Structure 1
Amino acid sequence: MAPVIYVDADACPVKAEVLRVAERFDLETVFVANGGLRPSRDPKIRNVVVPSGADAADDWIVEHAQANDVVITADIPLAARTVALGAHVLGPTGRAFTPETIGMAVAMRDLKQHLRETGESRGYNASFAPRDRSRFLGELDRILRVALKSGASA
């Protein structure tokens, strides 16, 4: 069975890249957000608008994603939840989250949050750069090939 691409679409900087790659692979893509999604005439593209709430989009994705699907998110807790489902998870900078790497990503997120709360860090994130977009495209292509191969052999 072909994987589905789920995109945590609130403030996602790589929506256009996801669409381009999904079209090339002819895969269903679901954008999930609290609002502000552009409609598409492509029947393979679906927009899901969830109610406002801290984790509403995350919860919807976790309820629908399955093993071998692909999830695009910068949200570390969502990445951890979907890695646990067996999904392939990729951040918008091209960082893949795997069962081997998600523990460290969660620990670093928690440490950074603690440092912000105690005033030790201002919490500035690096800006999104063209090299991030390029890395994302390469990793998305690689992950989709792996997912398609896994789906074909299942």
Structure 2
Amino acid sequence: MQGEEHVNIWIDADGCPKDIKEIVFRAGRRLGLPVFVVANRPLAVPRSGLVTMVQVSGDFDATDQAIVDRVVPGDVVITADVPLASQVVDKGAVAIDPRGQCYTDENVGERLSLRNFFHDLRGAGLASGGSGPLTESDRRRFASALDRALTRRLKSHGRDHP
């Protein structure tokens, strides 16, 4: 159920690794939290009353906009997209990237500036590539960051972590 009295988990699923989605599905199931998988194409999701596939158009940034339009304070958003992370943090949500980096009011501005700087360098041909493949250490860091974020959010909503 969407609303301020609940903690919702949103996955920016177009580029989210399968392993990360599985970690989120398990956390949602364990804690009884709704998980919204947002993508511009149909994706396989677990059959569960807690998991909802939200398919959006293929328009540029349609997935990001759908999440921004629906996220409420207290929600947790999984995304590698720093501009999206900045927008959801502005709305009172927390964002976590697939490598376990949490975006908060305290750090999202710096992360966005750094992202834009490297984007400009790549555009000028002065830098290439991005992050390497997801490692087991990245998965553990993500799972830990997700657990911490959900625990904080649940406590702030008057619900104890099971």
- TM bin (shorter chain): over 0.9
Corresponding position: 1:102 with 2:108: yes
Could you tell me how far apart the structure 2 residues matched to 1:132 and 1:118 are?
Answer: 29
Structure 2: stretches of 5+ with no match in the other structure: none
Task: Show the counterpart of 1:122.
Answer: 128
The letter of the residue matching 1:5 is I
Task: Show the counterpart of 1:8.
Answer: 12
The letter of the residue matching 1:93 is R
Could you tell me how far apart the structure 1 residues matched to 2:118 and 2:72 are?
Answer: 30
Q: TM-score, normalised by structure 1?
A: 0.96
Task: Show the counterpart of 1:41.
Answer: 47
Task: Show the counterpart of 1:131.
Answer: 137
Give the superposed CA RMSD.
1.1
Name which of 79, 89, 112 aligns with 1:83.
Answer: 89
Task: Show the counterpart of 1:53.
Answer: 59
Q: TM-score, normalised by structure 2?
A: 0.91
Q: How far is 1:127 from its partner?
A: 2.0
Could you tell me how far apart the structure 2 residues matched to 1:8 and 1:59 are?
Answer: 10
Name which of 140, 144, 147 aligns with 2:146.
Answer: 140
Could you tell me how far apart the structure 2 residues matched to 1:101 and 1:39 are?
Answer: 32
Identity of aligned residues (%): 37
3-state DSSP of counterpart to 1:7:
strand
Structure 1: stretches of 5+ with no match in the other structure: none
More divergent stretch after superposition (33-42 vs 73-82): 33-42
Task: Show the counterpart of 1:64.
Answer: 70
Q: How far is 1:47 from its partner?
A: 0.2
The number of residues matched between the two structures is: 153
Could you tell me how far apart the structure 1 residues matched to 2:47 and 2:127 are?
Answer: 45
Could you tell me how far apart the structure 1 residues matched to 2:81 and 2:100 are?
Answer: 13
Could you tell me how far apart the structure 1 residues matched to 2:82 and 2:65 are?
Answer: 13
